[in-house]
Amino acid sequence: MTKLTGQQIAGEALDGWVLLLGGLHTRIRTGNFATGLSVVDAIGAAAEEMDHHPDLDLRYTHVDVRLTSHDERGVTERDVRLARTISRIAAETGVELESGSVSRMELALDTPSHKGVLPFWAAVLDMKDQAENGVDNEVRDPHDALPAIWFQRSGSEEPRQRWHLDVWVAPEQVRPRIDAALAAGGTLVDDEGAPSFWVLADPEGNRICLCTWQERD
């Protein structure tokens, strides 16, 4: 099954869902644990019937859902179908799903030679090198509990910030987050990469990127 582009996914008009880091995400506002458990049970039954299984995170007042097709390293039609089924389950249960509060984080290490340091981070964090999947500058937690780490090529001049965060959000959340960051004393360092990413810095100059799926296909 073919991996869908970000624009194709946007064209599906999946209310309450957002594309972040190769997966469809939503947050189902259940209000209490018992309702959340019943929603998880219903999703589990639907997933078994469709033979396609989401990542579910059950919390006291909500359930987070992530859909991805691991064989394609991205979102396919099977994920879209399951997303529509989950949306229907939420509607029938009388709960809402939303994506505005959902984000995903990865860590970026700036390095002039990632091959020299990647094995260390894979070993100390017990992560898996993604080279066999065609990505030679990234390590991931096989259990998806820790943020992925990717290694960004940089110069070696000092001093320099070596680590920075990449936070993936829904496109409509970028402006509110930038405004809030500026109001909190931050600065917008670079927006040349927009709408794919914006670089911001805190009052001490530590940087973070706000990232979206846009213009990445």
pLDDT for residue 206 is more than 80 = yes
**Domains of the chain as residue ranges with CATH:** 6-98 (3.30.1360.20), 104-211 (3.10.180.10)
User: Which pLDDT band, with edges at 50, 70 and 90, does 134 fall under?
Assistant: confident
| CA 47/CA 89 separation, integer angstroms | 12
User: Could you read off the pLDDT of 55-111 as tens digits, one per residue?
Assistant: 999 999 999 999 999 888 899 999 999 999 999 999 999 999 999 999 999 999 999
User: Could you read off the pLDDT of 37-69 as tens digits, one per residue?
Assistant: 999 999 999 999 999 999 999 999 999 999 999
150 versus 155: which is more confidently predicted? 150
Q: What is the pLDDT of residue 4?
A: 95
Q: Model-level pTM?
A: 0.91
Q: What is the pLDDT of residue 70?
A: 86
Exposed/middle/buried for residue 203 (C-beta within 10 Å: 0-12, 13-18, 19+)? exposed
For the chain, what percent of residues have pLDDT higher than 70? 100
User: Taking a C-beta distance cutoff of 8 angstroms, is the pair 189, 200 a contact?
Assistant: yes
| CA 137/CA 157 separation, integer angstroms | 21
| CB burial readout 114-142, b (16+ within 10 A) else e | beeebeebbeeeebebbeeeeeebbbbee
Q: Is 39 helix (H, G, I), strand (E, B) or coil?
A: helix
Q: What is the pLDDT of residue 156?
A: 80
Q: What is the pLDDT of residue 217?
A: 67
| CB burial readout 22-46, b (16+ within 10 A) else e | bbbbbbbbbeeeebbeebbebbeeb
Give the number of other Cβ atoms within 10 Å of residue 81's Cβ. 13
Q: Which helix (H) or strand (E) holds 112?
A: none
Mean pLDDT of all residues in the chain? 95
- Strand boundaries in 83-192, DSSP class E: 96-98, 104-111, 128-129, 138-140, 149-153, 163-168, 187-190
